[in-house]
Amino acid sequence: MWILHPLGAFSIVKSNYVSKDTLSVYAHDAECFCATCRAAEKYAVRARCEQDLKNLCELLELSADIIMETPNADYQFRIMVSSTLLVRLMGLLALDIDYTNFKNAVYERQGKSRHDLYLEIWTVLTDLDERNAVHASNPLRRLL
Above pLDDT 90, what percent of the chain? 58
Q: What is the mean pLDDT of the chain?
A: 83
Residue of 44, 42, 39, 48 lying closest to 8 (CA atoms): 48
- Structural domain containing residue 111: 102-143
Least confident interval from 10-24, 71-85, 122-136:
10-24
- Please tell me whether residues 77 and 132 are part of one structural domain: no
- Please tell me whether residues 25 and 74 are part of one structural domain: yes
- Please report the sign of the dihedral spanned by the C-alpha atoms of residue 32, residue 38, residue 41, residue 47: positive
Residue-wise pLDDT tens digits, 36-60: 655 556 899 999 999 999 999 999 9
Contact call for residues 5 and 45 (beta carbons, < 8 A):
no
Residues 6+ apart with CB under 8 A from 144: 120, 123, 124
Tell me how many domains the chain contains: 2
Residue 38: how many CA atoms within 13 Å on its side-chain side? Answer: 7
Residue 26 pLDDT grade (very low, low, confident, very high; cuts 50, 70, 90) = very low
- Please tell me whether residues 135 and 79 are part of one structural domain: no
- Please tell me whether residues 41 and 74 are part of one structural domain: yes
